Amino acid sequence: MQILHAFDPLSIAPVGLSIRVMVIGIASRSSLLAERLASLGGAIDAERDLFTGLEAIIDDPAGYGLCVIDCDAVGGLELGRRAYALLGDASLRVPVILVSSECAQQEFPQDRSKPVVLRGPASKLSMRMGFEHALRDRFLIQFA
């Protein structure tokens, strides 16, 4: 008997090992967004309430390596952008990815003071690209 396994090249090499990720706007770590992030190797903390999630990051910015906001669950892309602005100095230490179905064009800014914006629902490929782009400084230091 021969057993075949589905080949998924995006989950072969997890890139987020030892990175703690705050996902805001989801009820649990079993959501599709959280599962896609977890497949990249990050440790997921889920928070449904926007302000509670932001408070956790502001209170402990060194504890988180990434923040992902599901804008559709918290009130839209514009509210997600305002939430990013509320992070203030914490956003300089904790990269942010905004995921929204309102996104017409994905944004991968070179300016580190701006969030990555992904079209929702984020596919495995776009999530990996956003993850790697948001954490590019960390990866450069790791592999230097």
For 68-107, the pLDDT digits (tens) are 999 999 999 999 999 999 998 888 889 999 999 999 999 9
Confidence of residue 109 (pLDDT cuts 50, 70, 90): very high
What CATH code is carried by the domain that includes residue 25? Answer: 3.40.50.2300
Question: Angle at the Cα of 71 (from 139 to 68), degrees rounded to 5?
Answer: 20
**Strand order in 43-47's β-sheet?**
43-47, 20-24, 66-70, 96-100, 116-119
- 68 falls within a domain: yes
Of the candidates 14, 18, 134, 12, which has an alpha carbon nearest to the alpha carbon of residue 69?
134
- 34 falls within a domain: yes
**Structural domain boundaries enclosing 34:** 15-143
- 60 falls within a domain: yes
Q: What does pTM read for this prediction? A: 0.84
Of the candidates 104, 123, 100, 112, which has an alpha carbon nearest to the alpha carbon of residue 32?
123
- 35 falls within a domain: yes
Please report, for residues 16, 19, 60, 123, the alpha-carbon distance to residue 130 in angstroms, rounded to integers and kept in the order given: 12, 14, 23, 10
- 5 falls within a domain: no
- 7 falls within a domain: no
Of residues 138 and 93, more confidently modeled: 93
Number of domains in the chain: 1
- 3 falls within a domain: no
- 61 falls within a domain: yes
For 34-58, the pLDDT digits (tens) are 888 888 888 889 999 999 999 999 9
